[in-house]
Amino acid sequence: MDPRLEGEFIAVVNAGSSSIKLSMFSLHDDRRLGPLRLELRAQVEGLGTATPHFEAAHADGTKAGSRDWPVGERLGHEGALEHLVEFIRHEFPGLSMLGIGHRVVHGGTAFQEPVVVTPEVLARLETLIPLAPLHQPHNLAPIRRAFAAAPGLPQVACFDTAFHRGQSDVADAFALPYALFEAGVRRYGFHGLSYEYIASRLPALSPRLADGRVVLLHLGNGASACALHRGRSIASSMGFTAVDGLPMGTRSGAVDPGVLIYLMDEQRMDARELETLLYKQSGLLGLSGVSSDMRQLLASDAPRARFAIDVFVHRVAREIGALAAEMGGLDGLVFTAGIGEHSAEIRRRVLSRCLWLGVSVQDAANRDGPPERRISTVDSRCEAWVIPTDEELMMARHTFRLLAAERKSP
């Protein structure tokens, strides 16, 4: 065994709609670097497609493993999880664990911060599956599996919704009958672990933004925007579910609800068919007919690929304006997640629509530079930044904080 991998660990599981990521953090008494150190990241991507792919890397980026499955052997979430668990067992024999942190997309109104999962908590989280059908079942399956395999091992659920729970009722409400608001039909907002991580980086990177009005843009396979005022979320583009707001890889983003009634009446679509349409057949994939993957769209000459990108950029620019209006102005913009971190072209196009907000882009910095960087000119009234997100580190921090506190007060 690698001597670095002795001691106690926290595992963190981020089960998405088409991938499972598992990261291992070791614990240390290091005042300067903090108690958590990333040791290994492992993931299976492309679940449900013809070409699932496993890859694992040590913290320094060196490869720890990889695997492809034969074309046509459709690997599901369960098979991927088994593979990851076996890999970790092999890499970390005799492993001692403090606990496991899980990303759980929906915490409803009841869960406003991370919690240690009990069978009762798990049962309540299961009732939220209809509110996040693409994510919640996959988030809860690894919890159930770990309960069965290691009943005494503490598990912590970290919610995508929690960071937004401080938003006002006015920001949260749909203008539906008030009884529905009371029954929990309201805006929740998602990608909260990502936004919380970015907010935690701002004091070191830009004190002005840490204390100011910022729109955070999480543009990945799922995409959303968040209005951050003095480090707190005050509004977000995602609503009751993670299908609202911006167009995404395969999700529609906001549509006129009248369209759904029309489709039910005229095309006799039922709830399941609408769910498939809105979550799996829309967004970049639905508009382009080419791919849900922004890299492929940017590389394509197909007119509809270009059209899909145009719609995406248009809606992102619109959302920035809407969230700036909620905050009464804007001091900065932050791009994060797959597209936000890696696509200079999308950032350039979005920022070219933000001149009215006082953004002046530094082209060379936008094209290239260290992963965390300012991409606006020094005299830009509104700052623009790229900050890679780290949902896993945020989850490891929450898990450590909760379990260390539990250990002190048994």
Ligand X SMILES: Nc1ncnc2c1ncn2[C@@H]1O[C@H](COP(=O)(O)OP(=O)(O)O)[C@@H](O)[C@H]1O
Numbered residues of the known binding site: 14, 21, 103, 218-222, 293-295, 338-342, 391
Residues 76 and 80: their CA atoms lie apart, in Å, by 6
Residue 62 burial (CB count, 10 A): 7
By rule CB under 5 A, what count of residues binds Mg ion? 1
CB of 56 or CB of 403, closer to ligand X: 56
Residues 298 and 314: their CA atoms lie apart, in Å, by 16
CB of 192 or CB of 332, closer to Mg ion: 192
Phi-psi region of 375 (alpha: psi -120 to 50; beta: other; left: phi over 0): alpha
| Residue 405 structure tokens | 């506190």
Least separation in angstroms between CB 338 and Mg ion = 7
Least separation in angstroms between CB 168 and ligand UVW = 22
CB of 389 or CB of 399, closer to Mg ion: 389
CB of 198 or CB of 324, closer to ligand X: 198
Site for Mg ion contains 220 (CB under 5 A) = yes
- Which residues lie across from 359 on neighbouring strands? 382
Q: Which residues are annotated as a binding site for Mg(2+)?
A: 14, 391
Residue 352 · residue 365 · CB < 8 Å? no
The interface mask with Mg ion, positions 175-214, x = CB under 5 A, is ----------------------------------------
Residues 17 and 389: their CA atoms lie apart, in Å, by 18
Which of Mg ion, ligand UVW, ligand X, none interacts with 343 (beta carbon under 5 to 8 A by kind)? ligand X
Catalytic (active site) residue 160: yes
Interacting span for Mg ion (CB under 5 A) from 75-83, 109-117, 218-226, 365-373: 218-226
Residue, CB closest to ligand X: 338
Q: Which residues are annotated as a binding site for ATP?
A: 21, 218-222, 293-295, 338-342
Which of Mg ion, ligand X, ligand UVW, none interacts with 191 (beta carbon under 5 to 8 A by kind)? ligand UVW
Give every CB contact of residue 369 below 8 A, 6+ residues apart in sequence: 375, 386
Among 160, 244, 331, 390, the active-site one is 160
Least separation in angstroms between CB 260 and ligand X = 25
Residues 237 and 189: their CA atoms lie apart, in Å, by 7
Task: Provide the H-helix boundaries in 127-228.
Answer: 136-149, 169-172, 178-182, 192-205, 207-210
DSSP conformational letter for 106: -
Phi-psi region of 352 (alpha: psi -120 to 50; beta: other; left: phi over 0): alpha
Residues near ligand X (CB under 6 A) are: 16, 19, 220-222, 249, 293-295, 298, 337-339, 342-343
Site residues (CB under 5 A) for Mg ion?
Answer: 220
Catalytic center residues: 160
